[in-house]
């Protein structure tokens, strides 16, 4: 029996659902869709897991996505495919340092990106995702709040530029998006003047400033589908091309450059942690119950408040 068929039968037997991010392999994405799960951005992954009736949720993505699912559904069994699949933003925002940062600015609303640990979310007032950050910050700004933002300085800088809000930023970055190069992108655009540039807001501001559209992974896919251009240069993890091409058949999709002045192309537009997800691991997790996420009750309760605010705000 093929791996896919074995996984399908295990999912049924275990009353489990597979929730996948756009950056994991096309095989895992297809399997999630074919078995009643979902492929989506981190906001919808969280919402879907929360609303699902399944007893067990298998998260094909990175660890913070599994933790978010567990925080929202403590009664469910949540598993990730690899416990080592982390995120440079999460890794770069250690709770002890973050606590000190927050203590230095007690009057600011603490807003953190989804790409953080459960402990960091527990310390926050709000959690946001790339698809919701601008709206939430504008809302807080209109309520007279000053903001402490963590951990992605590029997304934070973008949000700040859109909202005029008083915001101080933690110094973190995504190692994948940080490697997109503005100079090389300008050169590439010269060869494709008819292409629209689509950029994820974890990219550096010089790259964002060249964008025709800036948005979350779901937003970028929708833009490729709905915009009139037939060609797109895309600055995000290249795992997105699978769904984007399905959503915009016949349109030409080009990877934004990660080479150029000072480039070492460490990631080459693909997240090393998303790449740790595989069909083999999915089957093993289902069969052996590996990699279950556990979060202590106090942390979970506090973190849930900051996530719930977002779910209610975006409902």
Q: Considering only residues 116, 217, 238, 306, which one is a binding residue for ligand 13P as defined by CB under 6 A? A: 217
Which of 4/91 has CB closer to ligand 13P? Answer: 91
Q: List the interface residues with ligand SF4, window 243-272 (CB under 6 A).
A: 271
Q: What does 175 bind: ligand SF4, ligand 13P, none (CB cut-off 5 to 8 Å by kind)?
A: ligand SF4
Residues in contact with ligand SF4, shown as a per-residue x/- string from 202 to 241 under the rule CB under 6 A = x----------------------------------x----
Residues 44 and 51: beta-carbon distance below 8 Å: no
CB of 106 to ligand 13P, least distance (A): 29
Q: Hey, is 273 helix, strand or coil?
A: coil
* CA 28 – CA 22 distance, rounded (Å): 10
Q: Considering only residues 52, 88, 119, 216, which one is a binding residue for ligand SF4 as defined by CB under 6 A? A: 88
Q: Does 17 bind ligand SF4 (CB under 6 A)?
A: no
Q: What does 120 bind: ligand 13P, ligand SF4, none (CB cut-off 5 to 8 Å by kind)?
A: none
Q: Does 175 bind ligand SF4 (CB under 6 A)?
A: yes
CB of 243 to ligand 13P, least distance (A): 11
Please provide residue 18's backbone torsions phi and psi, each rounded to the nearest 5 degrees: -100, 125
Which of 84/289 has CB closer to ligand 13P? Answer: 84
Which residues have a Cβ under 8 Å from the Cβ of 112 and sit 6 or more positions away? 93, 120, 121, 123, 124, 126, 127, 128, 149, 150, 151, 306
* CA 17 – CA 179 distance, rounded (Å): 34
Please provide residue 139's backbone torsions phi and psi, each rounded to the nearest 5 degrees: -60, -45
Binding residues for ligand SF4, rule CB under 6 A, total: 13
Binding residues for ligand 13P, rule CB under 6 A, total: 11
* CA 201 – CA 289 distance, rounded (Å): 35
CB of 177 to ligand 13P, least distance (A): 6
Please provide residue 148's backbone torsions phi and psi, each rounded to the nearest 5 degrees: -110, 125
Q: Does 42 bind ligand 13P (CB under 6 A)?
A: yes
Which residues have a Cβ under 8 Å from the Cβ of 275 and sit 6 or more positions away? 25
Q: What does 67 bind: ligand 13P, ligand SF4, none (CB cut-off 5 to 8 Å by kind)?
A: none
Q: List the interface residues with ligand 13P, window 111-170 (CB under 6 A).
A: 115, 129-131
Please provide residue 52's backbone torsions phi and psi, each rounded to the nearest 5 degrees: -70, 150
As given in the structure block, the two tokens for residue 174 are 């995504």
Q: Does 174 bind ligand 13P (CB under 6 A)?
A: yes
What is the pairing mode between strands 252-255 and 231-235? parallel
Q: Contact residues for ligand SF4 (CB under 6 A)?
A: 62, 87-89, 115, 174-176, 202, 237, 271, 273-274
């Amino acid at each position: 029996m093929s791996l896919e068929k074995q996984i399908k039968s295990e999912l049924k037997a275990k009353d489990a659902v597979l929730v996948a991010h756009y950056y994991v392999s096309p095989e895992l994405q297809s399997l999630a869709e074919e078995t009643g799960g979902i492929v989506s951005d981190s906001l919808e992954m969280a919402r879907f897991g929360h609303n699902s009736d399944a007893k067990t949720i298998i998260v094909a993505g990175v660890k913070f996505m599994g933790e978010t699912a567990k925080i929202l559904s403590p009664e469910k069994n949540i598993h990730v495919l690899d416990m080592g699949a982390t995120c440079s933003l999460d890794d770069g925002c250690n709770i002890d340092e973050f606590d000190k940062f927050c203590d230095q600015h007690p009057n600011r609303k603490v807003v953190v990106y989804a790409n953080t640990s459960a402990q960091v979310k527990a310390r926050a007032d709000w959690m946001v995702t790339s698809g919701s950050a601008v709206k939430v910050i504008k809302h807080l700004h209109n309520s007279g709040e000053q903001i402490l933002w963590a951990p992605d300085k590029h997304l934070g800088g973008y949000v700040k530029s859109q909202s005029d809000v008083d915001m101080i930023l933690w110094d973190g970055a995504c190692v994948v998006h940080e490697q997109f190069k503005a100079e090389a992108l300008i050169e590439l655009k010269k060869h494709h003047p008819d292409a629209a540039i689509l950029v994820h807001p974890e990219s550096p501001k010089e790259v964002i400033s060249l964008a025709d559209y800036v948005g979350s992974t779901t937003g970028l896919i929708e833009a490729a589908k709905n915009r009139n251009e037939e060609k797109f240069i895309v600055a995000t993890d290249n795992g997105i091309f699978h769904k984007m091409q399905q959503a915009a058949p016949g349109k030409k999709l080009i990877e934004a450059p990660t080479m150029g002045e000072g480039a070492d192309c460490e990631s080459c537009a693909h997240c090393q942690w998303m790449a740790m997800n595989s069909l083999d691991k999915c089957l093993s997790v289902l069969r052996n119950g590996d990699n279950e996420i556990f979060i202590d009750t106090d942390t979970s309760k506090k973190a849930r408040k900051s996530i719930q605010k977002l779910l209610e705000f975006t409902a």
